[in-house]
Amino acid sequence: MTRSKKVQQNHIRVNFSFIEYINTLNSCISLDMTGAGRLVVALLSIMLFTSTTSMAFGQSSQIPPLSVSAELPLYESGDRVIFSGLIKSPDVNNLIDITVRIVGPIINGTGATNIVTVKQVSPLLDGTFSDNFVVGGPLWNKKGDYKIIVNYGPQKAETTFFYNGGEDSPTVLPPVQCAPDQIIVNNQCITPPTMPTQPNCGAGTEYDEETNSCIVKPVETVECPPGEELVNGKCVETEEQTLINCGPGTHAENGICVPDAKAGEESGCLIATAAFGTELAPQVQLLREVRDGTLYSTGAGTTFMAGFNEFYYAFSPAVADLERQSPLFKEVVKTAITPMLSTMSILNYANIDSEQEMLGYGIGVILLNIGMYFVAPALVIVKVKGLLQQRRL
């Protein structure tokens, strides 16, 4: 506020000097001065204009980017401190609040981190700002110099005033010096209690705090919850063994039911093996995977295989011998069982998780084979017979 008054006084002084110059110039013209006199007046005018311009520019350049000042240099307890300042180049489109901190007392250059008051002040559009605060209270218990620090973005300014309230200047006490075997507690030196030395206990023993000695480590009895068992001193989950109820003529192996082996009974896909020449043929492996991985995994499939084996092994050895003796018969059998292998592959890719699904897929495959091997040929025969009868007519 004081700085603004000084600037106004300078402008008034410049305006008054300029008015005096105009009056003097009019007097010279009215006296009808000679050419030399008029030249002198012109030079004086140029000098006066240059000096006033440089003075105004110098005053403007001396204004800092951010300034702040207190109304008085000294305050008592309970006084109201009025401070004001100026932002030289405010951004009127993006004005932000000014952060004000009052810190102190400042003693030997220290105390700037002791904040007693914090405020937020909103500047005006012309960059000026002002606010006030009351000195006194529990934080103002020491007299001395206090600083008003203002921050506006990266810009910073500060001013100092003296607070004459509170107690006298604080007395800086020397730090407490303790002996090497002592510690500082509540600004006093005390000797800490000595801790007993803990012995190193060996295997099978442990440290007892009451006797400060090693005792035999008691054997801990580990009780495992239901569903777990003790393995190497730790409780682990018990692997549940699912009991499989296999039908007559079968037994459980690796979680699935397989037929019981009978004396003198041959096993395997005899007809397919003889047709394709080896048990390692992909077609034979497909039949084996469907039998072991799909049919034997359910009770319905196991029952079906038990009845099928009784029927299949009654004639399959003789058919296999004929295939090995007659290459022509071998090719006929190979061609005949190829459609059946295609339908059996459906079971190998189906996700069967229950007895109902096994029955559904099994009946579907059986009906599909009946349609290919019996229904379709019967329809063809009837159709051909009808055509022949039409030609005879």
> What are phi and psi for residue 257, nearest 5 degrees?
-95, 130
CB-based contact 214:199 (threshold 8 Å): yes
Res 246 pLDDT > 50: yes
The CATH class of the 66-163 domain is mainly beta
Whole-angstrom Cα distance, residue 286 to residue 341?
Answer: 8
CB of 287 within 8 A of CB of 365? no
Consecutive H or E run containing 185: strand 183-185
CA 351/CA 358 separation, integer angstroms: 9
Q: How many CB atoms lie within 10 A of CB 151?
A: 15
pTM of the model: 0.33
Give CA–CA dist 66/85, Å, rounded.
7
Pick from 73, 79, 83: nearest CA to 130: 83
- The DSSP 8-state label assigned to residue 354 in this structure reads S
Q: What is the pLDDT of residues 321-338, one digit of tens each?
A: 888 899 899 898 888 888
* Residue whose structure tokens are 């000042």: 69
- Taking residues 304-327, report their average pLDDT: 86
Residue with more model confidence, 80 or 175: 80
Other C-beta atoms closer than 10 Å to the C-beta of 293 total: 13
Assign residue 227 a region: left if phi > 0, alpha if psi is -120 to 50, beta otherwise?
A: left
Most confident of 4-8, 44-48, 271-275: 271-275
